[in-house]
Amino acid sequence: MAFSLRQLQYFVAVAENGSVSSAAHTLSISQSTVTEALRELELDLGFKLLERHARGADLTLKGHHFLRHARKILGDVADARRALAGPETAALTGRLSVGVTPLVAGYIYSDLIARFRRAFPGIAVEAVEDAADYLEHLLVGGELDVAVMVLPPGRQSAALQTETVEVSPYRVWLPLGHAALAEERVSLRDLSAEPHVLLTVDEIAEASEIVWRRLGIRPPVAFRTRSVEAVRSLVATGAGVAVLPDLTYRPWSLEGDKIEARTLVDDVPAVEVATAWRRGSPLSAAASGFVSIAATRHAGRGR
């Protein structure tokens, strides 16, 4: 295969932005440059990565699988550059205690820890998953060096220093063929009679319920669950709709059923994922390296 890193970067940008035009704007290049790079990449691979439509572009099933590999390749290259630029990190030894909230554990942590281990092979990492409030307790008590958490909306802890890893807007998930898919933007008011599937981790369900109260609606709740995959399967089979942050969105359920997502008209504050550590406490070299690697993820997704 002869595809280039630039082609992979453009593909990842389109996948993350949902359209060629948005990706081109993010990358500060022309749409034709992105389109040509994607065409050459698909020719080289021998299969379609994206389905183009009037609203933008959706990943095909093969495109969804290839996206994971593309991100890994780009991450490996970034880690190689970092390792060569700072060879002293390879000699660092010790331990690092990390805490993560549930969504971070499922969608962000594996990438961060893989990159950290490549850059700091001599550091042994111990990790624990729990709710943000308890992780804060462990950080303040000195039992964790650093945490990666979904920050509770509207609440800033005076005890913690934080640095953004990712900001993920909410969208509504809909089954294939749903009437609301005719619109590019959807209001929860128009879905007030629809059963909703609520994700009860990292205060995701609370975000929907806050908007319901503000709109004066109370949709029926079909199911409450701590499993994103359960939400995905239930939406895909038409059991209900769901409002979740984009970091959890995948267009296919485990059973292979398609899910569509639409932007919300309603104001739902985006989910912020951040690294956190005890305010006023100096970071160890290992913890500082971890925070730095997490920050480059944010910068990479924002380009």
Helix (H) or strand (E) holding 54: none
Q: In tens digits, what is the pLDDT along the chain, a chain of 303 residues?
A: 578 888 998 998 898 888 888 888 878 888 899 999 999 999 999 999 998 887 788 888 888 889 888 888 887 777 666 655 555 555 678 999 999 999 999 999 998 999 898 888 899 999 999 999 999 999 999 999 999 999 887 777 889 999 988 888 999 999 999 999 998 899 999 999 999 999 999 999 999 999 999 999 999 999 999 999 999 999 999 999 999 999 999 888 888 889 999 999 998 888 999 999 999 888 998 999 899 888 876 544 443
What is the spatial distance between Cα 163 and Cα 165, in angstroms, rounded to a whole number?
7
In sequence order, which ranges of 46-175 are alpha helices (DSSP H)? 61-85, 102-107, 109-119, 132-140
φ/ψ of 243, rounded to 5, equals: -115, 110
What predicted TM-score, i.e. pTM, was given to this entire model? 0.71
Please answer whether residues 188 and 271 qualify as being in contact, where contact means their C-beta atoms are separated by less than 8 angstroms: no
Rounded Cα distance between 36 and 49, Å, is 13
Nearest Cα neighbor of 273 from 198, 170, 172, 163 is 163
